[in-house]
Amino acid sequence: MTCLTRRLILGAGAAAPFAFMRSPVAQIQRGQELTVGVWGGAQERILREFVATPLEQQHGVKINFVLGGTPERRARAYAERGRPSFDIVYLNIFESRQAVRDGVTQAPTDRVPNAANLYPAAKLGGYGVAFNPVTIVYDRRKVDAPMTSWKDFWRADLRGKVIWPTYPGAQGTSALLMAAKIWGGSENDIEPAFRQIAALKPFAAIQGSQDQLFTMFDQQVGAASVEFGSFTRAYAEARNPNIVIADPTEGQALATNVACITVGTQKQALAEAWVNLHLSPECQRAYAERIYYSPTIRNLDLPADLRAKLIMGEEAVGRLVDFDWDVVIRNQPRWSSRFTREIAG
Amino acid sequence: MNSRAAAPLLATPYLLWMLAAFAAPLGVVALLSVQESPEIFAPLSFIPSGVQYTDLATDPFSRRTILRTLALGASVTLASAILGYPIALWLTRLPPRWRPLGFACVLVPLLTNVVVRSLGIILLLAPGGLVSNLLAFLGLPRVNLLFGWFAVGLALTQVFLPYMVLALYDVLEAQEKRLAEAAAGLGAGPAVTFFRVTLPLSLQGLRAGLVLVFLLASTAYVSATLVGGRQVMVSGMVVLKEGLEILNYPAASALAMVMLGASVLGTLLIGRAILLATPWTVGRAPRRLPALPPALRRGLVVALEAIGPLVSRLLLGIALLLLLFPLVLVAVSSFNDSPQATVAQWLGFTWRWYAAVLGNERYLGDAWVSLQLALAATGVSLLIALPAALALARGTFPGREALAAFFMLPLALPGIAIGLGMLRLLQWFTLLPAFLGILAVHVVLVAPFMLAMLRASVAGLDRGLEEAASGLGAPPLRVFQRVVLPQLAPGIAVACLIGFLISFGEVTVTAFLTTARLQTLPVRIYAEAAFSLENTVNAISTVFILVTVLLLLAMHRLVPLDRVWRR
């Protein structure tokens, strides 16, 4: 009690003049450096154009990109918990929610003005910057009828032609959870999924990345797989018009790219300004036009032909299938071990 | 150089570097492997627990994975040796001015991106691919060799074959040509000459090649992931999965340590076998094997001589095809007007990938960083590996083979595990200047390769020349400068070439250590590939292959790749 009182008095006295500020580093200062861990390629180019350059010009700050794959970035952020060298890391849907739970990155707040426009599904585990749902993709020449349901993987004409995605990983996680859902299970009852997926064996192949899947489609190794619709659309339009991106009746599986501000960053205000620009209509439009990532904000209108290729509007976003990611994360080691033993290998 | 007592001293710089830059991450991995809790934020316990190892030993899946990985490593090693000899002999027989181009052919797989190389394997083995079409043309049934152990083995053989060839090249090049002539004069045909003269005299180089390829093949996982279609599980993949996806560091570390142990055992076995086959290097009398009956022996010799030349030509053809196939693919793709790199169909001609690379200062900046890093890493590695090679090849001190095995440890520990170990040391690592920190790690990764190769070159030196120089009154340093170094020049050149390429292309460990202050070109390419592999990667490979050819031509003028005085 004494201790509490003393701390209260001291704290109140010391904090009083600064009550209008959250912390001494809560304002952007000229010369600050922001370190962002993100993927390379088109995403780096869009971010430099719509986020980094405006920030540098407006505030006289410097933005450092650390390019890499998600696994290394995540491992680094975990190793540096509380004293991060990154101010922002980009993660996927379940990694981001796990990172918040593990105290590695911050939960979203209203201090980012544009976050007010986010769909609720994109405001968990950080700031969702793109919907990138996972769905069924197939080669129309290799199936007897269009695929309209996740159950179609178990059709007789697809026997031995399925290219299953590896687990864990965004695609493999979605595929496993959707299989559980349609076969009477759920994330809390995964048994039906493993049983039914094992019944699909032999697989034409197991794919570990989109590039690998596209090569398999090029070589006509198999008929159908589970993949991000966005990339597959770019692939289908560029070089393989036989590939169809299905919109199954049970819905597409929700997946997001998430901007996560690290716990312990010394540049809170600058990091929030970064996220705010990433959620601006201009940046979101560039993502949609260049790589078919669906916007996570509600205040963006796009031409009808582009809208048709994306997930847009309350109703469409509401149809995306979400899961209890806490359960999924908790079970990941067990499921991964089962997948390696029962499905792959 | 002649003082035997000084031999262990020569290995000291290398030993110190290992202790400073490698013992720490290795110690971390070892400590992680004896943790009981797989929880990532659990405080490190210094009371060792064997639970991770018990789990490994009692899990049939893990046991199977380890054994299969070792079997894969052994098969790839054997295949590389069988394909490596014809290529290495072909290189030594090329006219000197064509040798740089010959070297460039051998190095193609090391200069191309792994994803693109894997596409080459897929195009070869797919149901509608080259091999299948060839079989159909010959009236045989079509086969699907893709996504299995064969495909993985072939992919690994392709990328590790260059190490075998270069390890063999210098010892074969240094061989006295008159010995083969003498054998021929005594009635031996080419096959018998190869088995009775060339092969035994090249065993030091073969040892280097076997060790390098075995260690690389039993820790590799990227090719297995790409062409194994995830139906092939190797232990490197499991380390990656447990460590980076599940974040179970203790399980990943324990598996890495088991693989380390198995690899060291493999290295020692290879060393032992070569020692048994080369008794003269330690002054022992050769073991006499029971002789075949004369009739059988004559029959065998006739058969060998009949099929030998044919088989060696066939193997040379297969090996060259395997090495050069990615070149065709990469060069053609780099002009292909397709946004994705892994495209097997032609969509139109364009220069834009070259424009994107050469006009982008970020690529050029990263390439400059990589170049400086690779040059520095190669230079430092040479300075510590050459004395160590002299110590290991000439010293007869106790524990020599154990020391040699310890020096090879960085190759035996999967790269991912080194990365995980470094993560724990990150806060100390980042205190170092960025360049120096990554340089220290690159030297650890590069020096073992250079040591293995230089050791074989030193073992092949003609001691008589040094003794003659000493006898004529030259002090040791002068003997080293005027007699030893010129003889070693081709071996040093080849070792530096390999060291440079490994450092320039390293991504597995560097990806963990990249900071805002320092980024290398391969890490940039990897980061782009993680999103979508663009065709710029093929333009980079093509530019890089051309630059390598030019560098080889230039190097050949400065440090000839053959022994000039023999021409």
- Same domain flag for A179 and A273: no
Partners of residue A83 in chain B, C-beta under 8 Å: 427
Partners of residue B40 in chain A, C-beta under 8 Å: 78, 102
A64-68, A254-258, B139-143, B256-260, range with the lowest pLDDT: B139-143
Tokens at A93, concatenated: 């849907």
Q: Is the CB of A205 inside 8 Å of chain B's CB atoms? A: yes
Q: What is the CA A79 to chain-centroid distance, rounded?
A: 21
Tell me the β-bridge partners of B518: B515
CA A345/CA A203 separation, integer angstroms: 11
Instruction: Quick: pLDDT tens for B17-72.
Output: 998 888 888 999 999 999 888 887 888 888 888 888 998 889 888 899 999 999 99
Does pLDDT of B88 surpass 60? yes
The whole-angstrom distance between A151's CA and the closest CA on chain B is 23
How many other CB atoms are found less than 10 A from the CB of residue B101? 13
Mutation target to probe the A interface, by most A beta carbons within 10 A, among B532, B533, B534, B535 is B532
Nearest CA in chain B to A64: B516
pLDDT of residue B564: 65
Please judge whether B340 and A211 are an interchain contact, meaning their C-beta atoms are less than 8 angstroms apart: yes
Q: Which amino acid is at B334?
A: S
Average the pLDDT over B143-161 and give the result.
Answer: 86
Confidence of residue B530 (pLDDT cuts 50, 70, 90): low
DSSP assignment of B89-134: HHHHHS-GGGHHHHHHHHHHHHHS-HHHHHHHHHHHHSTTSHHHHH
The whole-angstrom distance between B295's CA and the closest CA on chain A is 50
Helix (H), strand (E), coil (C) string for chain A: CHHHHHHHHHHHHHHHHHCCCCCCCCCCCCCCEEEEEECCCHHHHHHHHHHHHHHHHHHCCEEEEEECCHHHHHHHHHHCCCCCCCCEEEEEHHHHHHHHHCCCECCCCCCCHHHHHECHHHCCCCEEEEECCEEEEEEHHHCCCCCCCHHHHHCHHHCCCEEEECCCCHHHHHHHHHHHHHCCCECCECHHHHHHHHHCCCCCEEECCHHHHHHHHHCCCCCEEEEEHHHHHHHHHHHCCCEEECCCCCCCECCEEEEEEECCCCCHHHHHHHHHHHCCHHHHHHHHHHHCCECCECCCCCCHHHHCCCCCCHHHHHHCECCCHHHHHHHHHHHHHHHHHHHCC
Partners of residue B243 in chain A, C-beta under 8 Å: 75
pLDDT of residue A4: 42
CA A33/CA B479 separation, integer angstroms: 55
- Same domain flag for A299 and A171: no
A47-51, A232-236, A296-300, range with the lowest pLDDT: A232-236
Does residue A123 lie in a domain region? yes
- Same domain flag for A333 and A189: yes
Q: Is the CB of A342 inside 8 Å of chain B's CB atoms? A: no
CA B483/CA A292 separation, integer angstroms: 66
Domains of chain B: 4-40+51-278+302-566 (1.10.3720.10)
Taking each helix axis as running N to C, give the angle between helix A170-182 and helix A191-199, from 0 to 180 degrees, rounded to the nearest 10: 100
Does residue A317 lie in a domain region? no
Pair type for strands A224-228 and A134-139: antiparallel
Please judge whether B342 and A215 are an interchain contact, meaning their C-beta atoms are less than 8 angstroms apart: yes
- Please choose, from the candidates B184, B238, B244, the residue with its C-alpha nearest in 3D space to the C-alpha of residue B68: B238
CA A43/CA A34 separation, integer angstroms: 17
- Same domain flag for A88 and A227: no
**Higher per-residue confidence, A186 vs B405:** A186
- Same domain flag for A304 and A232: no
Average the pLDDT over B430-456 and give the result.
Answer: 88
Residues in CB range of B166: below 8 A, 6 or more apart: B106, B453, B494, B497, B498
Instruction: Quick: pLDDT tens for B175-233.
Output: 888 888 899 899 888 899 999 889 998 998 999 899 999 999 998 887 787 788 767 88
How many other CB atoms are found less than 10 A from the CB of residue B197? 18
Nearest CA in chain B to A235: B340
Q: Is the CB of A238 inside 8 Å of chain B's CB atoms? A: yes
CA B161/CA B166 separation, integer angstroms: 9
Report long-range pairs for B376-380 (Cβ below 8 Å, ≥24 apart).
B376/B435, B376/B439, B377/B439, B377/B442, B377/B443, B377/B446, B377/B499, B377/B500, B377/B503, B378/B446, B378/B450, B378/B496, B378/B499, B378/B500, B378/B503, B380/B17, B380/B439, B380/B443, B380/B447
Q: Are A279 and A114 in contact (CB under 8 A)?
A: yes
Residues in CB range of A66: below 8 A, 6 or more apart: A35, A36, A37, A38, A73, A86, B514, B515, B516, B519
Partners of residue B350 in chain A, C-beta under 8 Å: none
pLDDT of residue A18: 41
Partners of residue A235 in chain B, C-beta under 8 Å: 340
Average pLDDT, chain A: 88
The whole-angstrom distance between B38's CA and the closest CA on chain A is 10
Please judge whether B423 and A208 are an interchain contact, meaning their C-beta atoms are less than 8 angstroms apart: no
**Higher per-residue confidence, A202 vs A21:** A202
Q: Which amino acid is at A78?
A: Y
pLDDT of residue B344: 63
- Same domain flag for A208 and A339: yes
- Same domain flag for A79 and A52: yes
The whole-angstrom distance between B95's CA and the closest CA on chain A is 41
Partners of residue A70 in chain B, C-beta under 8 Å: 530
Structural domain harbouring A81? 23-131+256-312
Does residue A11 lie in a domain region? no
Q: Is the CB of A71 inside 8 Å of chain B's CB atoms? A: yes
Q: Are A99 and A125 in contact (CB under 8 A)?
A: yes
| CB-closest option in B230, B515, B528 to A41 | B528
Q: Is the CB of A49 inside 8 Å of chain B's CB atoms? A: no
Does residue A15 lie in a domain region? no
- Same domain flag for A50 and A145: no
Partners of residue A102 in chain B, C-beta under 8 Å: 40-41
Does residue A184 lie in a domain region? yes
pLDDT of residue B552: 83
Q: Is the CB of A70 inside 8 Å of chain B's CB atoms? A: yes
Please judge whether A214 and B345 are an interchain contact, meaning their C-beta atoms are less than 8 angstroms apart: no
Does residue A204 lie in a domain region? yes
- Same domain flag for A207 and A139: yes
The whole-angstrom distance between A98's CA and the closest CA on chain B is 11
Instruction: Quick: pLDDT tens for A93-104.
Output: 888 999 999 999
Mutation target to probe the A interface, by most A beta carbons within 10 A, among B222, B230, B347, B361 is B230
Does pLDDT of A51 surpass 80? yes
Q: Is the CB of A92 inside 8 Å of chain B's CB atoms? A: no
Q: Are B217 and B160 in contact (CB under 8 A)?
A: yes
Q: Are B527 and A39 in contact (CB under 8 A)?
A: yes
| CB-closest option in A35, A336, A341 to B241 | A336
- Same domain flag for A164 and A50: no
- Same domain flag for A247 and A290: no
Please judge whether A80 and B427 are an interchain contact, meaning their C-beta atoms are less than 8 angstroms apart: yes
Please judge whether B527 and A333 are an interchain contact, meaning their C-beta atoms are less than 8 angstroms apart: no
Does pLDDT of B78 surpass 90? yes
Mutation target to probe the B interface, by most B beta carbons within 10 A, among A218, A226, A341, A342 is A218
Task: Tell me the three state secondary structure of residue B37.
Answer: coil
- Please choose, from the candidates A315, A271, A323, the residue with its C-alpha nearest in 3D space to the C-alpha of residue A112: A271
Which CATH number belongs to the domain containing residue A237 in this structure?
3.40.190.10
Does residue A8 lie in a domain region? no
Average the pLDDT over B125-153 and give the result.
Answer: 80
Does pLDDT of A20 surpass 50? no
Counting the structural domains of chain A, the total is 2
Does pLDDT of A8 surpass 70? no
Does residue A10 lie in a domain region? no
Please judge whether A212 and B226 are an interchain contact, meaning their C-beta atoms are less than 8 angstroms apart: yes
The conformation of residue B506, written as its DSSP 8-state character, comes to -
CA B100/CA B497 separation, integer angstroms: 12
Q: Is the CB of A341 inside 8 Å of chain B's CB atoms? A: yes
Does pLDDT of B244 surpass 90? no
Please judge whether A75 and B420 are an interchain contact, meaning their C-beta atoms are less than 8 angstroms apart: yes
Instruction: Quick: pLDDT tens for B361-416.
Output: 888 888 899 999 999 999 999 999 999 999 988 887 888 878 888 898 898 888 88
- Can you list the alpha helix ranges (DSSP code H) found in B175-247? 177-185, 190-193, 199-201, 203-219, 222-227, 235-240
Kindly report the backbone phi and psi dihedral angles of residue B339, in degrees, each rounded to the nearest multiple of 5, phi listed first: -65, -30
pLDDT of residue B531: 67
Q: Which amino acid is at A59?
A: H
| CB-closest option in A66, A74, A219 to B515 | A66
Q: Is the CB of A214 inside 8 Å of chain B's CB atoms? A: yes
Please state, for a pLDDT cut of 90, what percent of chain B lies above it: 27
- Same domain flag for A270 and A139: no
Does pLDDT of A329 surpass 60? yes
Q: Are B260 and B413 in contact (CB under 8 A)?
A: yes
Q: Is the CB of A141 inside 8 Å of chain B's CB atoms? A: no
